[in-house]
Every structure is written in structure tokens, then in C-alpha cells.
Amino acid sequence: MTQTTVQSLRDKPAVRWTALILVALTMFFGYMFVDVLSPLKTQLEETVKWDSTIFGTYGSSEFFINVFCGFLIFAGIILDKMGVRFTAILSGSLMLLGAIIKIYALSEYFNMGGIGFDLLNSASFPASAKLSCIGFALFGCGCEMGGVTVSRAIVKWFQGKEMALAMGIEMAIARLGVFAVFWTSPMISKHFAQKGEMFLSVQAPVIFVGILLAVGLILYIIYGFMDKALEKEQGAEEIEEEEPFKFSDLGKVFGSGMFWIVALLCVLYYSAIFPFQKYATEMLSSNIGLETETAAKIFSMFPLGAMFITPLLGAFLDYKGKGATMLIIGAVLMFACHATFAFFPFNEVSHMAAVTIAITAIVVLGISFSLVPAALWPSVPKIIDNKVLGSAYSAIFFIQNIGLMSVPIIIGRILDVTNPNVAPGEPKNYTTAMIVFAMFGVAAFFLGFVLKIADKKKGFGLELPNKTK
């Protein structure tokens, strides 16, 4: 006699992996948009007169609303109250709205005195930059909200199944987005620059990724139908999710010493990664004398390496442990890369040697960027009570966003101060800026040690494997 069991949608691998691909693709487009202008810093300087301070402020603006209005905390509440479907579509819409504003800000029409130009323009801060910041800030709300929502969606579909693998793959797909944009953005820009279309040379890459964000919103809507079908089938209460957000949870989270060590380690480490991405292309062309397109291609090896190694290191952590050690090694490697760009005399060696050393340093940073995220995020459940895990993650993101917001401004200011007589588009001295990035590595290294010692004393099991035999 054969027995037939009714399979839930979650039990069908093809269905749950389709759900993952739908939400991960939107994050892929989101991460592309985050860095769409990063390889074009020099062109922005020449075309729309953004000096390094302005560029830094623009880079920071992604996090303005998340930090100053505490939007990330509200995002958690919205997610709890309205659910994954609504929040996913809201975050996708915010990302698209931000993109449309940025596309308008970089248009020839606007910059030639179009609607809103006179209202926003000032000698010290061009209207194109102000409006781009507004667009990027709205986009940033959607992107960070999307990040939290996607994690929740993965829990919904994968809890009790391949959840860590699904999270690793989602992160890898996001890294692929950064890789893709460091290739496509300079290529599109060059195409229009060669035709003498200066505004389009910075606007067209944004239009391209803006269209992808519209596709991303459609994917979120399609995901919404799958989400609804799952809820209808099982009933929302049957799906084990994290506890709903409560303000009192924040007290418990902020009262934990271990939370502060991890949150500070996170802000220090990520402050030397995402803000560095914004300056890396110009730093490479300045240090080694490369064209923008070539410098961006070299830098694209960073997210690509991280994409392949992160899931492997996640698996290593699952079976062998050594989470705190991985954080320490990651910080050392990050310091080594930034210190190389700060101190190595690239102009005193052959071009070939300079390029080889630069590529090696970038690959080392890629390994570091695999070690730290692979070890950091899965460490949080070991030190924080499961009941307040959702609040802990949003609190860590909030603290991290403060660093991601401040550092690009600081680096931009440093570049302008240390390069007083450098004309727009000319190579810059990046030594001081790179020393600052390297110092974040030193601080993260010490915090990694503090974490390891605290773990040894209190027995959180950060060095132990996740999987029990």
C-alpha cells in the first residue's frame, strides 16, 4: 500500500528556491544601485563639479534617514505589523522612487535650470548633488528595509531546512551585483563620454540600474503571490518566525556587553569596506595610473572573491567553528590591504609589479570580506537571547549605518584637504585616507581579541561549530 503525504509549498525545493531567487535578485539590483556612481567619481568631478567632500556626502546620504530618523527601527516595526509581502513591496517602491529622483538630478534638463534647480542650487553644494542625496536617502531606506525583509522571508521559507546556505547564497548574489556594476557602469559611461554626451555619461548608468530596480519591484510583487499562497496554505501562525518587535527588547539588547563588542566590531569593520568601495576606483587609478574602466575592473575582483568564498567559510564555521578567530584574521587582512595602498611605493616599481601588488591586495581584502560576514552574522544568535534576535539585528544595522554614514564624509573631506591644488580629474594622494581605513582594521583586530577573551570566560561558544554531531 502506498501512502501519499501532502507536501507544503515550503517542502518543494523548486518552489522555495524560486522564492529565494526572486527576493535575492532584487537585492542584487539594489547592491548594483548602491555603487552605480562609485566607479565614476572622477567623471562626476568633471561633469557635475562634485569635489571629494560632495562625493563623500552623497555616499553618506544613503544612510541619512535610517540614522537621523531611526528609520531602521520603524522598518522592523512595519515588517512585524504588516508582514513580508507588504514590506518587500514598500522597500522595492522606495528604492525605485529614490532611483527616479537620482536620475532626474543627473539629467541635463535639471542641471540646465530645470524644475527645482534654482531652489536647490548653491555655490558650495550643487543642486545635482543635493537632489541625488535626497534620492539616495530614500533609496537607502528601501535597501536596508529590503535587507531585513529578505532575511525574514528566508526564515519563512527555509527554517528547519537549508537556512544558512540560503542566507549565504543571498549574500553571494548581492556581492555579484557589486561586481556587475563595477563592469557595466564605466562601460556605459565611456560609451556616452566618447559621443560627447557628458551628462548622459554619468546619468545613463543610473538609468540602466534604475530600470533593473523596476524589474526588482515586479519580482517582489511576484514573490508577494507566492508568499500569499504559502500563508493561505499553512496559516501565518504555523510558520515559526522571530518574535514581534517590542521597544522593551531594545533595552535588553543595549544592556548586553557582548552586543556592544559585536556591534562595534561590525561598525568598525564595515566602515572600512562599503565606504572604501566608493573611493576604490579613483584610489587605484591615482596610485597606479590606470584608466577608470581598468581600475574598476581590478576592484571588481573584491566582491567576486567574497562571493565565492563566503559560502565555503560559512560551511567551515558550521562544521569546524573558530568564529572569533575568523573575525580576528579578517581584521588583520583588511589592515594589510589598506596599509599596502597607504604605504607601498607604487610609482617606484614597474607598472606590471604595481598592478600585481594591487590585485593581490584586493584579493586579500576579498578573503577578509568573506571571513568577517561569514563569522559575524551567525555569531549574533550565540550571544543574544533568541527572543530579542530581531531587535538585535536591527540595532546592529542601526549602529553600523552610523559608521557607513559618517566615514564617506570624513574620507571625502580628508581627500580635499590633502589634495588642495589638484585639478578635477587629476590623480590624488590617497595616503592619509588609506591610513584612516587601515586604522579601522587595527581597532577591529583589538575588538576581535576582546570578543575572543570574553567568549572564553563566558562560554558563548563562538569558537565551536554550529552543527552538533
Ligand X SMILES: C[C@H](NC(=O)[C@@H](N)CCCCN)C(=O)O
Q: How far is the CB of 52 from ligand X (least distance, A)?
A: 20
Cell 561633469, located at residue: 47
Contact yes or no for 16/10 (Cβ under 8 A): yes
Q: Is 99 in the site for ligand X (CB under 6 A)?
A: no
Q: Is 34 in the site for ligand X (CB under 6 A)?
A: yes
Distance CA 249, CA 211 (A): 39
Indicate the DSSP class of residue 463: T
Q: Is 373 in the site for ligand X (CB under 6 A)?
A: yes
Q: Between residues 50 and 63, which has the closer beta carbon with respect to ligand X?
A: 63
Q: How far is the CB of 173 from ligand X (least distance, A)?
A: 11
Chain centroid to Cα 47, Å, comes to 26
Figure out which of the listed residues 144, 227, 231, 242 binds ligand X, where binding follows CB under 6 A: 144
Q: Is 147 in the site for ligand X (CB under 6 A)?
A: yes
Closest residue to ligand X in the complex (CB): 373
Q: Is 91 in the site for ligand X (CB under 6 A)?
A: no
DSSP string of 10-61, one letter each residue: GG-HHHHHHHHHHHHHHHHHHHHHHTTTGGGHHHHHHHS---HHHHHHHHHH
Q: Between residues 127 and 167, which has the closer beta carbon with respect to ligand X?
A: 167
Q: Is 133 in the site for ligand X (CB under 6 A)?
A: no
Footprint of ligand X on 283-312 (CB under 6 A) = none
Q: Between residues 34 and 226, which has the closer beta carbon with respect to ligand X?
A: 34
| Candidate segments 77-85, 142-150, 209-217, 416-424, binder of ligand X by CB under 6 A | 142-150
Backbone angles phi, psi at 29, to 5 degrees: -65, -35
Q: How far is the CB of 201 from ligand X (least distance, A)?
A: 24
Q: Between residues 199 and 398, which has the closer beta carbon with respect to ligand X?
A: 398
| Candidate segments 102-110, 143-151, 195-203, 239-247, binder of ligand X by CB under 6 A | 143-151
Sequence-separated (6 or more) residues with CB below 8 Å from residue 188: 204, 205, 208
Chain centroid to Cα 373, Å, comes to 11
* Binding residue count for ligand X, defined by CB under 6 A: 11
Q: Is 76 in the site for ligand X (CB under 6 A)?
A: no
The three grid cell numbers given for residue 25, joined into one nine-digit string: 535578485
Footprint of ligand X on 172-191 (CB under 6 A) = 174
Long-range CB pairs of 7-13, under 8 A, 24+ apart, other chains included: 8/230, 8/233, 8/234, 9/226, 9/229, 9/230, 9/233, 10/157, 10/158, 10/161, 10/230, 10/234
| Candidate segments 93-101, 139-147, 215-223, 447-455, binder of ligand X by CB under 6 A | 139-147
Q: How far is the CB of 49 from ligand X (least distance, A)?
A: 26
DSSP string of 341-354, one letter each residue: HHH--GGGS-HHHH
Residues in the chain, overall count:
469
Sequence-separated (6 or more) residues with CB below 8 Å from residue 449: 328
Binding mask 253-272 vs ligand X (x if CB under 6 A, - otherwise)? -----------------x--
| Candidate segments 140-148, 239-247, 311-319, 419-427, binder of ligand X by CB under 6 A | 140-148
Backbone angles phi, psi at 51, to 5 degrees: -80, 180
Q: Between residues 144 and 282, which has the closer beta carbon with respect to ligand X?
A: 144
Q: Is 135 in the site for ligand X (CB under 6 A)?
A: no
Contact yes or no for 295/284 (Cβ under 8 A): yes
Q: Between residues 70 and 113, which has the closer beta carbon with respect to ligand X?
A: 70
Q: Is 400 in the site for ligand X (CB under 6 A)?
A: yes
Cell 591615482, located at residue: 286
Residues in contact with ligand X by CB under 6 A are: 34, 143-144, 147, 171, 174, 270, 274, 373, 397, 400
